[in-house]
Amino acid sequence: MILQSLVRYYETLDKKRLAAKPGWCQAKISYALNLDSDGSLREIIPLKTEKMIGKKTVIIPQLMFVPEMVSRSSGISANFLCDNSKYMLGIDSDGCGKRVMECFNATKSRHLEILDQVAGDFAKAIRGFFDSWKPEEARNHPEINSLWDDITAGGNLIFCMGMKYAQDDEEIKKAWAKIMEKSQVEESHICLVTGKDTEIARIHTGIKGVQGSQSSGAALISFNEQAFTSYGKEQSYNAPVGRYAMFAYTTALNYLLSQRDYVFTFGDTTVVFWSEDGDENYQKAFCSLFEPEADNQEMMKGVFSALKKSQAIRISDIEMNPDQKFYILGLSPNAARLSVRFFYQDSFGNILNNLTQHYRRMEIRRPVWDKREFLGIYRTLQATVNQKANDKKPLPNLTSGMFQAILSNGRYPESLYSNTLIRIRSDQGSESAGDGKVTRARAAIIKAYLIKNKNGLEKGDDFVELNEGTMDLAYVLGRTFAVLEEIQEKANLNINATIRDRYFNSACTTPESIFPVLMRLKNSHIRKLDVGMSKYYERALTQLQGRVTYYPKRLNLEEQGRFILGYYHQVQKRYTKKEEK
């Protein structure tokens, strides 16, 4: 299904003239070699452009359509009309070595062979360039010498004559088309993607842009060991994909990965997404809703309100079709190959509905300083990460499991809940995670998990704020712990560490052994308060203790979550009252 979806997307891009034709590809071009009619190098023309990325302006190479480039690993293999300085000029940062000369000679032979019988000024100029260019004298060219470091940094170079590029010359394009037609015919089989009897691609074009993968590109479909062969079929013949389908899916996927505004990276997973009709507005909308920023919270409320009322969905004054097919693909690096973490397809409206359900489960009373009404996936997953660790990436399986749960409105991964509890326990008394406090994101994860996976909260109450009517023992014990902590803080205004730092984990797991100790400590703390405050806290504790029939020896994981939720709600009520005063 993944390849079929990408092939259809390629055909949509092709109709919009956004994708390369078979035998061609899109490449990042840094410089053009401007030739005279005799092939001499007149000047070097920079082709890099400025682009705003976030708040910074950066200089990036220009994307252009060029003849299809080869997949290189360690051998020497020349491209046509577009390559780096080793192949095009015979130089690298160290000058002109033996291997660099081999690269240049391979490019020279390829161009002279393809353009041998091609008429036209441009073909003649390129032949003249390769016949006359001497790499060992490259330093003598003033423009190459002045741009040496940048030219030899690995960026691609192309040929031009004035304002005309070699790849746009009609005679050269015809010559390249003939070369493509004469390419060696491989085995023919039924293509798994198109269902047609066609020539099967032996090697698939590399996919570039997946975080952590090789910069030269990694294969989505590839076999290189005897153990991977079936019925003696080697290379990619045991997963037969036709040449056209291979070109289409790799071109579409590389195009998606090149649109960095529409690429998410979570841990080791790179996520791309697209609508079947190729409308970028759906990608923009998905970005805004899946990873919301502080400035689009009102827009999100409008979208979710429209969904609830079954009204038309409008984003940035553009009406979205809820029936539009939408695809989401997660990829991770695996040596020279790519692993598919997840692939999800559904209508855009269903995806938004599922996203709405997730945000509703994650809704919880937030600190007064927190202006974000919706927590994005990245910030949610960061709540499970040790912020003191060198690697602050969430677990790979957790990332993919979280995505699938949200997109399909399914159960959250168990590791999301267990990792959150681990982080809360580990951070008590440390400087991370708000000095060990139960954060909004962690409390929201616990609430969402208990609602979706365990039905662990009372029906009829969404537990967004403090539930003062519930009789749930674990929740009440969490509230009680928060009140006891508040009493200690009131009695000792300059205290550096509270009972949370020393007793929270034990109170959350083995209440029977800890709460009697806390009650004795409370008696010494409450005597330091004035009469009015003392009576207020005694009354609050009496109300809570009236619901505690016994202290359990041990709380299970689900009960620990309810304890933490009760603690968080009680603390937020205290701070909310402070702000109101």
Q: Tens digits of per-residue pLDDT, 504-527? A: 999 999 999 999 999 999 998 989
Concatenate the DSSP letters of all residues of 88-110 into one string. HTS-BTTB--HHHHHHHHHHHHH
531-545 and 473-491 helices, crossing angle to 10°: 170
Q: What is the DSSP letter of 383?
A: T
> E strands along 325-398, which residues?
325-334, 337-347
Q: How is residue 88 written in tokens?
A: 């095009």
- Taking CA atoms, 498 is separated from 140, 438, 505, 548, 560, in Å, by 73, 14, 13, 23, 20
Q: How confident is the model at residue 434 (pLDDT cuts 50, 70, 90)?
A: very low
Average pLDDT of span 129-134: 95
Give the pLDDT score at 458.
Answer: 63
Q: 359-407, pLDDT tens digit by residue?
A: 999 999 988 888 888 888 888 998 998 878 787 788 878 888 898 899 9
Q: How confident is the model at residue 578 (pLDDT cuts 50, 70, 90)?
A: low
Buried b / exposed e over 441-466, threshold 16 CB at 10 Å, is bbbbbbbbbbbbbeebbeeeeebeeb
| Cβ–Cβ under 8 Å, residues 240 and 192 | yes
Q: What is the mean pLDDT of the chain?
A: 88
**Measuring CA to CA, which residue among 444, 308, 477 is closest to residue 370?**
444
Q: 457-495, pLDDT tens digit by residue?
A: 766 566 889 999 889 999 999 999 999 999 999 988 888
Residues paired with 67 in a beta bridge: 24
Average pLDDT of span 399-426: 91
Q: How is residue 175 written in tokens?
A: 């010559």
Q: Please name the residue that has the structure tokens 């979208």.
A: 303
Q: How far apart are CA 122 and CA 37, in angstroms?
A: 7
Q: How confident is the model at residue 171 (pLDDT cuts 50, 70, 90)?
A: very high
Buried b / exposed e over 335-366, threshold 16 CB at 10 Å, is eebbbebbebebebbebbbbbbbbbebbbbbb
Q: What is the DSSP letter of 79?
A: -
pLDDT at 219 over 50: yes
**Measuring CA to CA, which residue among 427, 455, 456, 450 is closest to residue 439?**
427
| Cβ–Cβ under 8 Å, residues 194 and 184 | no
pLDDT at 431 over 70: no
Q: How confident is the model at residue 114 (pLDDT cuts 50, 70, 90)?
A: very high
Q: 174-194, pLDDT tens digit by residue?
A: 999 998 877 656 678 889 899
pLDDT at 157 over 90: yes
What is the chain's Cα-based Rg? 32
Average pLDDT of span 305-321: 80
Q: How far apart are CA 3 and CA 444, in angstroms?
A: 37
Higher pLDDT, 219 or 129: 129
Q: How is residue 566 written in tokens?
A: 């009760």
| Cβ–Cβ under 8 Å, residues 333 and 387 | no
Give the pLDDT score at 200.
Answer: 87
Give percent above pLDDT 90 in the chain: 54
24-38, 324-338, 420-434 — which is least confidently predicted?
A: 420-434
Average pLDDT of span 212-217: 83
Average pLDDT of span 263-285: 91
Residues paired with 199 in a beta bridge: 188
Give the pLDDT score at 185.
Answer: 60
The pTM assigned to this predicted structure is 0.80
Q: How far apart are CA 175 and CA 119, in angstroms?
A: 10
Q: How far apart are CA 320 and CA 491, in angstroms?
A: 57
31-40, 294-303, 422-431: which is most confident: 31-40
Q: How far apart are CA 571 and CA 442, in angstroms?
A: 14
pLDDT at 430 over 70: no
